[in-house]
Structure formats: C-alpha cells, structure tokens
A and B are shown apart, each in its own frame.
Chain A
Amino acid sequence: MNYLPVLQLAAPETIVTLTVLVVLGADLTVLRGKSLAARFNVGALLSVLGCASAACLAFHRHVDANLFNGILVVNPAVDFIKVAILALTVFTILISTGGKFTDHVGEYLAIILLATIGLMFLVSAEDLLMIFIALELASLSLYILTAFNKHNAQSAEAALKYFLFGGMSAAFLLFGFSLLYGLSGSTNLGEIAKAIAGKGLDPLLLVAIVTTVIGFGFKVAAVPFHLWAPDAYEGAPTPSAAFIGAGSKVASFYIVAKIFTLGFAGAEGSAVWHGYVAGWTPTIAIIAALSMVLGNLTAIVQSSVKRLLAYSAIAHAGYMLLGVLGNNPPSASALMFYVITYAVTVIGAFGVVTVVEETTGGDAIANFNGLSRRAPGLALCLMIFLLSLGGIPPLAGFIGKFFLFSAVVTVGGNLGLLWLVILAIAMSAVSFYYYLRVLKAAYVEDAATDAPAIKVPALTLLALALLAALVILLGCAPGLLTRYL
C-alpha cells in the first residue's frame, strides 16, 4: 500500500497539522516567558501563515479524486469549502489575539487548528465512519475550547454541558449509522442510497433517519436539541464561541446536506403544504420551523449579548435547514452561500463582543452603551454585522436569505414550500427587534460617566474591518462567492 497519494490529497490538512506542531513548539521554546500579547501575536501569525498556505494550496489545485471509496473525496467544490473554513479559522484566531482568558496560548491556538483539521476531513468524507471520526475530532476540540477559561467556573460548566450533550448526540449518530450499515451493508453514502432506494420506508430506515436527524440536530443546535447552545456560547471564551458558531457551522451544514441528499436519496418524502409524504424532509421541516420560531422569540428576552447571539444562531440554523430540505442543487449552493456569509458575520459580531467584554468586564447589553462614542469604528462594525444578521440589504445576510428562500420556494413545484418561507420571513421580521436592541445601546444610550475607554487590539481591528468589508462586498456583489458554490 502506497501512502503517498493519501498525503498528497490530504496536503492542506497535513500543512495545518504541521502548523499545530510548529505553534506548540514555538510557544514551548522561543516564546517562553514572553508577554501574553507577544505570545498570542506570534502564535497567531504562525497559525495564519499555516492556514493561508493550506488555503492557497487547496484553492489552486484542481484535483478530482475519491480515495478508498469515499474516505477522502477531493474536488474543487469541496476544496472551496475547505478554503472557507480555513479563512474563518484565520479570522477566529485574529479576534482571539486580544484575549486574556488563558495563559496557554500555544495549546489554545493548536486546538483551534486541530478542530479545523477535523472540519476539513469532515467535508471531504462520503463514508459514515470517516464522517464520524472527523466529526468527533472537531467536537472534542470544541469541548476543550469551551472549557479554556480556567478563571471562570461558568466556562467549565458550559463545557461539561456541551460535552454531555455532544456525547449523547454522538451515540445517536452512531446508532443511526449502524442501522444504515445493517440495512445496506455499506458505509459509503452512495451505496447506502442505492441499497435503500425503492424499498419504501421500512421501520428500521425510519429509526435511522430519526436518530441521524437527532444527532445532527444537536450538532447544529436546532430546536429541540439546542439546550446546550446558549450556555456554551455564554460560558465559553468568546473566540471559542465564535468558532463554534462559524467554522463548525459551515462544515456541519455541508455534511448534513451531503448525508441527507446523497445518503437518503429516495427516502426524502415531501414537506409540501397539503402534500405531506413521510421521509426525511418533513422531519427536517418540523425542526426548522421550531428552530426559527423558538430561537427568535427567546432571543427577544435575552440580556446577555452572547446568549442573544446563541438564540439567533438557533434561529439561523432553522433558516439553514430550509436549504437542506430544499434537496436540489440551487438550494444546496444557496445554503452554502448563506452559511458562509453567516459565519463571516457571526465571527465579526463575536469579535466586537470580545473587545467589549475584555474592556468592560461583561457582555450584557448595557455594557454596549455609548459604544458609538467610545469606539466609533467598533460600533460601525457591530452595526454592519447585526444588520446583516437581521437581513437588511444590501448586506450579505439579506442576499443570502433571498437566495435561500427563492431557491427553496421553487421546490416541489407550485410554491409548495411557501408556508415555510413565509414563516421564515415573518420570523426574520421578529429578529430585527432584538438586533436593534443591541444597536440601540450602542448608538442611542449614553455610556456611564465612569465607563472605561475601549482600546481595540490592532489585529482584532484589522480582522473586524476585513470582515465588515466582506459582509458589505458579498452583499453588493454576491457573484464573487456564488461562482465557486
């Protein structure tokens, strides 16, 4: 057996793995005893270099390969998703550089990179086993990232909660996967689809569908499997929360769409109004509707911005699930556009929260009072990110919603899924209220007179400015992104 082709095909992942070692080594040796900021900045620089070279490699190779029957699938579309994940990792690392939540800089950055490797393998996999292993590599890294703030008991509690829920969901997934293997005799998605096609919905398949939906429901924090999310977002160090909300979302939704459209082809059923047919699309339609409604309504009453963003993430997961149940190429590419632009926006929002939290000591909405005077640039970035999340044109969030809803509404012919789209649009009108509450604090309220000045670390400011520019650019010229999807 020759392992060279494996290494070649997995070159971007290999580069990131090497970066992990370099970052860890540098932090152990050269950077020992230096100041926290210096260690963060140098470590971030090394990680960014590693990610950038991996991304360049993935972007410029045009390979089409399928290794070991779906264990490692490489093609330009997958490579582009990897580039997006790497870019999101870079931004997450940049916004974490001002952090004071940990002394273990090397480990923190290394674990972010390890999670990234997991996500990269995840999007490359078309085999249940590989999907599971990659997902667990990413998930375990995320649990650790959540627990990283050792000065804060909430962080440990959040991580434990996340871990227990995550472990449960892994069990559900494995159970579903084992049933699928039993039904089809294969772990390859394509072969599973072939095996179950035409057999109708036998009860075993139904159980497999439901447990898989539950497993991934936990991962993407869809209602009713969302309970870990608000606590994890609130307790985790903010850059970790950004990573959970951004990079991991992109990979998760990519793989969810792949498993259901590829692996369960033939068992999709129908969620069309007055045209219900049992299958996986109605299951996902229910979860999507619940997530949109509950996420948005619960977000209204939050006073912590991180919790608010968590509930908004739940609501957005609902919109994204619409893209999954669209189950056709236009919805798939609209879904990926939506997820990527959402991830870009949400990292930016968490970046602003990080800065505010570090300087004012909390993330309550009141801590944002008078931000437009204390840090005008930061407030402007926050406005762009939140308005994009709320779906105000011409920002990326709006165009993403337009793509997604107009792609989904055509599914099944004759506007059959219009009911879900109407629900989604109505709920996004609701969401406007809570985003505006945060912006009201930043732009309308005055800061307390003894409020400390806000200093934005240079690298974070750079990252935020780039992200804000990206949100505007992708909103005005979405073609820049859609041509790769």
Chain B
Amino acid sequence: MLAWTIYITFIGVLVLMLLPRDNARAARIVALLTAIAGCVVAFVGAIQQTNPGEVTTIVKADWIPAIGANYYLAADGISLVLVVLTGLAAVSGILFSWNIEKRTKEFFAFYLALIGGVYGVFLSFDLLLLFVFYELTIIPKYFLIARWGSTRKEYGAMKLALYSFVGSHLVLIGLIAAWVVAKGQLGHASLDLIELSKVHFTAGFQHWVFPLVFAGFAILAGMWPFHTWAPTGHVAAPTAGSMLLAGVVMKLGAYGCLRVAMVMFPEGVREWQWAIAALAVAGIVYGAGVALVQRDFKFVIGYSSVSHMGFVLLGLATLNTIGLDGAVLQMFSHGIIAGLLFGVVGRMVYDRTHTRDFNDLEKMNVGKLLPFAGITFVIAGIASMGLPGFSGFVAEFQVLMGAWTVFPKLTILSGVGILIGVAYTLRAVQKGFYSDTPPDAAHHDHPLEPISIPERFGAVMLIAASLVIGFFPSLLMNWIEPCFKSPLFERLLKGGAL
C-alpha cells in the first residue's frame, strides 16, 4: 500500500509532462490531486500497519542479484512518521505555490519528482535503493531553485547541489567499503539493511567508515559546520522549495544518519558520540545566534532551521531511547513548523511586498495589512520557540531529557540556544509584522493582495498538525517508541556489542 505513495507521485510527474505547456491551471490541479492522493495513501497505509515496531515488508523483489541488491520497500514506525510528514509537506507546498505562473507544469513536475524521491528514501530498506532515491532528489532541487528562486538563486542552487552531491559521495565510499567487508563475512553479496545491521564490522573499520557515512548524511541535515548550504539554499529557493528543503529534505539527511550510519556502525557511534553532540550543540547555538542578527527575513528562518536540526542531531547522539524518540519527533515537528514559517515569509509576505528586508518591512506594518499572515506567523513562532501545546515542545523536551543524562554541560549550553530562539522569533515578529512605525502612506495606495484560499488551507493544515501532535504526542509516539525496542536498534542502544 505505502509503495503507492512513490508510484502515484511519479505517475503525477508523467501526467504533468504530457500536459500542454501553457495550461497552468491544469498543472496545478494535477499536482494538487497527486499530492493529496499520495498524502491519503501515506495516512491510510500508516494506520493500517498494525505493528509499527517491526519492519513490515511492502515489496521485495530481486533487482541486481550480482551485487545483492533487492527492490526492497518496507516501513517501520520511523518511516511511517516521515512518510506522513512528506505527505503533509507535499500538499501544503503546492497550496503555497498556487501563484506560480512561470512554466507552471515544469515547476510541479520537478516538485513532484522531488517528493517521489523523498518517499522512496523513507521506504527503502535496501541500501542501493535508498541511495538511488536519495540522489534522485538532488536534481529537482537544483532546478527548482535555479529556475524559480529569488536572491542569488543560481549560486544557492549550485551550492546546495554540490553539497548534496559531496555528501552522497561520502556515503557512497562508505557504502562500497561496507559492502565489500560484509560480503567477506556473510559469504554472499548483500545490500539489505537488516542483514547488514547484523554484520559485525571491526572497530577499526567502524572508526573511519562511520564518520564518513554519518557526515555524508549529516551535511544534508544541516550539521554545523557543513550547514552553510542551508541558509543560502533556503533563501534562494521558491517558497515551496524552501518548505520542502526545510520540511523534508533536511530530514532525509537525519534519517540517513539514523537508519544507515548509526544502525550499521553502532561502535562507531559510541566512539564519535561526543563529537556529534558537540557539533549539534554548536549548530543550535550558532544557528540561533546568527538568526538573531539577520536583516533578511528568510535568512532568519534559514538559520533557525540549522538551529532546530541541531536538536535532531543532539537527540541522535544521546543513544538512549528517550533522546532518539525526541529526535524522530523533532524531525516531524520541525518539518511542519519550518514549512509553515517559510510559507508565511516566502508566499504571504515576500510575494506581496517584494521585500524581505526588515528595514523595509518595519515601515509597512504588514501585520495590519495582512492580519492573517501576522497571526499565522505568531502561532508558528510560538510553536517554533517550543511552547507547550505545540509539537516542538514535546520533541525538544524529550531530546533535552535524553541529552541531560549523557552530556549535562552541553545540554545547558543548548538551553542558551533555546533562549536566543525566543529572542530571534520575537524580533522577527516585531520587525516583520508589528512594528511601531506608522505605515508608509505609499503602501496604502497599493493595497496588498489578500491572502488566498489555498494559502489559508495550507496554513491551517500545518498549524492543526502541530497542535494535534502537541496535545496528543502519543499518536506518533506509538509509532516511534516500539521501533527503538526492536532488534534492529538493539545493538545501537546496547553499545555496539552483540
């Protein structure tokens, strides 16, 4: 069932390619219907999965027997959470890009191709297949930004593409090395993730392969100091592009860290645990600090993403159940909230005012002109600060609880990051929407176009998702928790030994 999320999305791409080139309306509708269908399949498929703690096979067929690659799609609770997130992000991204008039059909074709690849990564349990889908997402990202983006789009697009490509090549080196060693131990070639997780790689091998693979994935998760693609990429991207980048693409990286690097090399993680945690906290504090002094509204959100993804990495580094639970929940939560923030800034504000500079926005008093945008941003800001009642709170709280037991000092440091987070969010709310300066007379001559229906739908959907998880985290925790009790993660949690 869940495999259809991938197929439907790629069928949508094909349909879009066959549409006449100037029919923007048809392209939008096809894209929206495809995304909704994918989202519905994701939800239904996820609910149908009775035992989220176990890896449930969806499809398994021979693909390239010579190297032991299978067409192996499966899902456990972690995959379910992220597949549902992808579905939500896909639909809301399309709602927020309803106003794309320039080469609409190509925009949505690239958009859906990216979504299809993301679904594929979250559902692959064969390493080669996972890698294929992972790289498949790079190309549409590049074109989405380079063609439909704004500020320094070609630079941002190329930077993102090269960072992603370098990351995936680090992964490829590790993958080939691990494949060779595993072949020696198993006696046959295998790329099956579950089978590989049972192979015992020597400590010396894990010592150098783990950081390679982990860093390769973590580049895409925005790990400091490899995060620099993220702010420029987010800023350059069109609204839907930033929503997807922050919403799901960064999660691809974090997911790869957890699913591949950590599960395959549990001893390597132990060895590098401190380094990961330190880099994660550096990212939390640095991202927040830089966000505090930005003049460009989108850069604030871009750096806040780096900061929030730091919590995911910190959660991963704890290597205890509660921290890992928090990390996965934070992936979901940040995906929703960052998507919403980028939607407000990119679509509701920038597309109408044509500026993201706080100095200009301060003069406009956008909160009065676009009350809906103002309120949405305040709600999203509250969620982003991690106030109780929203998903961010549950997630970051668990990460910090998990981290406290392992690295108390670093945890206190990351608390500083949270405080700065409050500061930059309030600053953005104040400067971006509710400044004291009286609105310029000039802007009253050209009233801003009111917030459209699709935008309202998208915003309400994302806020609702964050609230529901904030109040009933168990909805997702029931999927996540059992995973970390499964045999797949046993070695990781027990310190590498069998």
Contacts and interface: CB of A to CB of B under 8 A. Distances in A.
A440 B147 CA distance: 9
Contact of A409 (B147, B161, B177): B177
B138 A406 contact: no
A372 to B, nearest CB: 7
Interface stretch (A62-70, A96-104, A162-170, A423-431): A423-431
Contacts of A436: 142, 158, 161
B36 interface: no
A479 B70 CA distance: 13
Contact of B135 (A372, A392, A443): A392
Contacts of B158: 433, 436
Contacts of B135: 392-393, 398
Interface residues of B, number: 31
Nearest to B181: A415
Interface in A132-148: none
A472 B65 CA distance: 18
A139 B65 CA distance: 39
Interface residues of A, number: 30
Nearest to B172: A425
A387 B143 CA distance: 13
Contact of A405 (B64, B146, B154, B176): B176
Interface stretch (B162-170, B242-250, B251-259, B352-360): B162-170
Given A372-B106, A405-B176, A482 B66 contact: yes
Contacts of A409: 176-177, 180
Contacts of A432: 161-162, 165
Interface string B125-159: 00010011001101100110011000000100010
B177 A418 contact: yes
Given A425-B173, A444-B147, A478-B64, A393 B165 contact: no
A410 B146 contact: no
A429 B143 contact: no
A429 B219 CA distance: 15
A429 B67 CA distance: 23
B43 interface: no
B169 A428 contact: yes
Nearest to B110: A443
Instruction: Determine the main DSSP class of B at the interface with A.
Output: helix
Nearest to B103: A373
A410 B180 contact: yes
A425 B171 CA distance: 10
B332 interface: no
Contacts of B132: 393-394, 398
Interface string B99-110: 000000010000
Contacts of B165: 429, 432
A175 interface: no
Scoring A415, A418, A436 by chain B CB atoms within 10 A of each residue's CB, the highest score goes to A436
Interface in B80-129: 106, 128
Contacts of B128: 402
B393 interface: no
A421 B169 contact: no
Nearest to B71: A476
Nearest to A406: B176
A440 B180 contact: no
Contacts of B106: 372
A394 B64 CA distance: 12
Contact of B139 (A387, A406, A479): A387
B230 to A, nearest CB: 19
B183 to A, nearest CB: 8
Contact of B169 (A393, A418, A425, A440): A425
B177 A415 contact: yes
Interface string B434-474: 00000000000000000000000000000000000000000
A208 interface: no
Contacts of A433: 158, 162
A422 B174 CA distance: 10
A289 interface: no
Nearest to B138: A392
B433 interface: no
A403 interface: yes
Contacts of A418: 177
A402 B67 contact: yes
A428 B176 CA distance: 15
A461 B162 CA distance: 32
A78 interface: no
Contacts of B311: none
B102 to A, nearest CB: 10
Contacts of A72: none
Contacts of A406: 67, 176, 179-180
A471 B66 CA distance: 19
A392 B139 contact: yes
Contacts of A440: 146, 154
A428 B65 CA distance: 25
Contact of A393 (B136, B146, B147, B162): B136
Interface string A384-401: 000100001110001100
Interface string B222-258: 0000000000000000000000000000000000000
Contacts of B166: 429
28 contacts: A372-B106, A393-B136, A399-B64, A402-B67, A402-B128, A402-B176, A403-B66, A406-B67, A406-B179, A409-B177, A409-B180, A410-B183, A415-B177, A418-B177, A421-B173, A421-B176, A422-B173, A425-B172, A429-B165, A429-B169, A432-B162, A432-B165, A436-B161, A444-B143, A444-B147, A478-B66, A479-B66, A482-B66
Interface of B: 64-67, 106, 128, 131-132, 135-136, 138-139, 142-143, 146-147, 154, 158, 161-162, 165-166, 169, 172-173, 176-177, 179-181, 183
Interface of A: 372, 387, 392-394, 398-399, 402-403, 405-406, 409-410, 415, 418, 421-422, 425-426, 428-429, 432-433, 436, 440, 443-444, 478-479, 482
Given A433-B162, A482-B66, 16 more contacts: A372-B106, A392-B136, A393-B131, A393-B136, A398-B132, A399-B64, A405-B176, A421-B176, A422-B173, A429-B165, A432-B162, A433-B158, A443-B147, A444-B143, A444-B147, A444-B154
CB-based closest 6 A-B pairs: A393-B132, A429-B169, A444-B146, A432-B165, A444-B147, A394-B132
